[in-house]
Each structure stands twice: as C-alpha cells, then as structure tokens.
Structure 1
Amino acid sequence: MALSCFALSVFIFLSFGSDSTSHLSASAAASEGVEITYGTVLKLMHEKTKFRLHSHEVPYGSGSGQQSVTSFPNVDDSNSYWIVRPLPGTSAKQGDTIKSGTIIRLQHMRTRRWLHSHLHASPISGNLEVSGFGGDTESDTGDYWRLLIEGSGKTWKQDQRIRLQHVDTGGYLNSHDKKYTRIAGGQQEVCGVRDKRADNVWLAAEGVYLPVSESK
C-alpha cells in the first residue's frame, strides 16, 4: 500500500533531523505483508512476549555503560521506533527491498544511536550485552546485524518471523520475561545469545513503510 503524502512527510521529517519530541502514530502502519525497504521506520515485536524493541537515554550501570536497550510492553511509545539502514559504503539505497542473509543496521529514531552488541555481559542474564551506540556520524561493525528470515520467504516483509544475528559476536538478538526493577522498571532485558531459541524471534510491527523503489 502506498504511503499517504502526510505519512511520507512525517517519515521524512523524523528520519532526517527530527525534533526529539516528535511521535509516530501506529496508525501510520502499512497493511500486512508489505515489503520492508531501507529507510522504513518500524517497531520490532518480540514474538513470544509481544514487547517492542526499545531504547532511551538511560545508560547501563554496568558493562559498557552505553545507552540501554530493552523491550517495552506498550505499543504507543515513540522510543520503540527504529530506522532500517544499509551498511555504509554499499550501493543500497532508500526504497530497496532487503533479502534474507543481508547485513543491516538499525538506528534508534529518537536518540540516533545504533543497535549494537559486543562481549560485555548483559545486566540480568549475563549474556551478550545489547546497547545503543554512536550516532549519525559514528558507527562500527558492532552495529552490523544479519537478517535471517524464518520459513520460505526470501524478502523481508511486515509480520514475517525473523532473527537478527550479530556479525561480530554471532549472538542472536534475544529477549525474555526477566524484567528490570531499576534502570527501566517493568521493561524486559534485551541481550544476545549464541544459539537459536524461541526467545530470539521478532516481527516487524507498527511503522511507516516506504514504497519499493522502482529503479534497481
């Protein structure tokens, strides 16, 4: 489904230097099964718990001390929006579809930090810490995630079961029902684990989905 002019304007405003208080409504989500392209702004829903991948300007009190990443129970929080980006220096451009096996980056819409992982221990489970790192002009290989589509699909679509495998550590983006009581009360830990589990399956949920580019 093509975006309305209003939805597209909202996307452009938010993606390229928006005010941090701006908010995307879940009503901007496209219909089921639409292809996800670079530049899409979306929420990733943890399949097992239905919480959304989330970040905020709260640092971890241990490990790297970088911006914390959690999963959040409410659907309507603007801190759960992420922009799908290609790797720097590639020919991929906004509007291109994304195939299984492609390495991507996810940029947190409001703080501009990248979904990141490394060998620091996560605060609750002691697995691989997942954090928010860098910014518009700072990114490294710790921000690289391989998209793995579950089932027979070859191109990433909304509501499709996926895993994200961290390139540097091999860990899968994971969440579970263990919750924080201090830095983010009621929110679940997000971490990396090195084996495939039901806890590391995600789906693209609410968002602004850009039309597929006609020029390849």
Structure 2
Amino acid sequence: MKLSGLICFFTLFMCTYGRGTQHVTCGSVVKLFNAYYKVRLHSHDVKYGSGSGQQSVTGTPQQEDHNSNWLIKRTLKQQCKRGSVEFVQDFGYCYFEGNQLLVDRRRLQHLATRRNLHSHHFSSPLSDKQEISAFGEEGEGDSGDDWVVICDGEEWDRRQSIMLRHVDTDVYLGVTGQQYGRPINGQNEVVGLSRPGVQAKWETMEGVFINPSHFSDDSRIFHDPSEL
C-alpha cells in the first residue's frame, strides 16, 4: 500500500488527489526541495561517524524516495490534534519580527524513522559548519528540534520558498556543495548556516496537505499527484 493510502487509512479521512490546497498546515507530510542544489531534504537510519553520532540528514537528488517525507507538527508543548479545526486554522500563519514574517515554532518529524529534524553545537562532517541530525524516539526529543519558518506572506504558501531557522542556535537549515561517499554516496551535506542565502531556501514539493478551508465541511486531504 502506498504511503498516501496508509495515511488516509489511519486518519479515517477521505482522500482527494490534486492540487486542491496551497497552504502547508499542521499534519501535512511534505518533501522540501532546495532549488540551488536541486536536492530534497532526506534522512535514513545511517549515523554520523563523527560529531554527535546521531542519525544523519542529507540532501538527495532522487525525487521518489520515501525517506524524504517529513511530517509538519507543533512543538512538544503545543501538540496539535489531528481532526481539530483550531490547529488547522491557526497553523501556517506568520507574524512579523522586525521586517521578517515568522511562523510559530514547528517541528519536522522524519516519517520513516520518527526522529525530529534537529541541530546543536556539533560540527558538520564535511564543511565544519553546524551539524544537522535527526533526533529523538517516536517523535519525542528536546528543544533542539524546534524551528521557526520564515516566509514571505501571511501564510505558509507551498508555492513560495521558505527558510527554517533553528530556535536554540539561530542557524538556518541549508545545503553545501559537498557530497558524501558510501554508504550515502552522492548525497549532499545538510548543515546549519550562520547567514541566510539561496543555499537556505526551501520549496514545498510533493506531499499530503490538509486543506483548512474544507476541514470542517468534509475533512478532505489533498495529495500532490507526484509520488511521495
């Protein structure tokens, strides 16, 4: 059974295929694409051989890889309940901090291994920037899993680029041009960057998206027609 079918089965929602929603909301499952290096945010049960020794996070050029699926959720103290109108309507709205629009703290959980996108003061293995890892068990980790989404509009619009800023250390999720050898040959290094730039811009690609405008009416989930 495809992953999209499994998600629909367990959430007891009716599935509608197509581009029916333009927003990324709590409970959405997405693939994030770095257009500068043309890779998708990726993880797998492969540990770093240095630094923290935690599960590695990379950028893969492959589109159809289930290890690039990430669940968007709130922080541990702000759990969102699937099926609640409140979290769908509230999630995805940005706010101003200076001249930047920011959205509340979010976590990205790697769907296959159930570990959260994470960072901390360890050096990355290839470029000696800040390490990005996948951390925790069954979706539970610590404050190093918290990120702020920086967007250009009032909502997280899947048609626009966003940046992810790490709450604890103020770095931006980005990619370098350096690539790993075996066992993850050809995958790019994902790091925390001290400054924003094109290497830190992400686009929302394939995914399963909850549509807030229809949630209270027919509880639809919209799927991108591309493979997850």
- Give 1:156's aligned amino acid: W
Counterpart of 2:223 in structure 1 is: none
Deviation at 1:139, TM superposition (A): 1.4
In the TM superposition, residue 211 of structure 1 has moved relative to its aligned partner by 2.0
- In structure 1, the partner of 2:85 is none
8 A Cα contact 2:59 2:188, kept in partner: yes
1:135 is matched with 137
2:23 to 10, 35, 41: 35
More strand by share: 2
**Structure 1 contact 86–93 (Cα < 8 Å) conserved:** no
Matched positions, count: 197
Structure 1: where are the runs of 5+ without partners?
1-5, 16-27
Q: Give the superposition deviation at 1:147.
A: 0.4
8 Å Cα contact 1:41-1:84 kept in structure 2: yes
Q: Flag the structure with larger Rg.
A: 2
Aligned to 2:179: 179
| DSSP-derived class of the 2:113 partner | coil
How far is 1:203 from its partner? 0.8
Q: Deviations over 1:28-67 (max 9, x none)?
A: 8752861111110110001212210000000000000000
Q: 1:90 to 1:62 in 2, by over 3 A?
A: same
Answer whether contact 2:21 2:209 (CA < 8 A) is retained: no
Partner of 2:6: 10
In structure 1, the partner of 2:117 is 115
Q: What's the TM-score once normalised by structure 2's chain length? A: 0.79
Q: CA offset at residue 11 of structure 1?
A: 1.9
Alpha-carbon offset, residue 10 of structure 1:
2.9
Stretches of structure 2 that go unaligned for 5 or more consecutive residues are 83-87, 95-101, 218-228
Q: Is the 8 A contact 1:30 1:209 kept in 2?
A: no
Deviation at 1:197, TM superposition (A): 1.3
After superposition, the Cα gap between the structure-2 partners of 1:128 and 1:29, relative to the gap in structure 1 and judged at 3 Å, is farther
| Identical columns (%) | 38
1:19 alignment partner in structure 2: none
| Matched AA of 1:180 | Y
Task: Report the structure, 1 or 2, having the larger helix content.
Answer: 2
Instruction: Indicate the RMSD between aligned Cα atoms, in angstroms.
Output: 2.5
- 1:66 match: 54
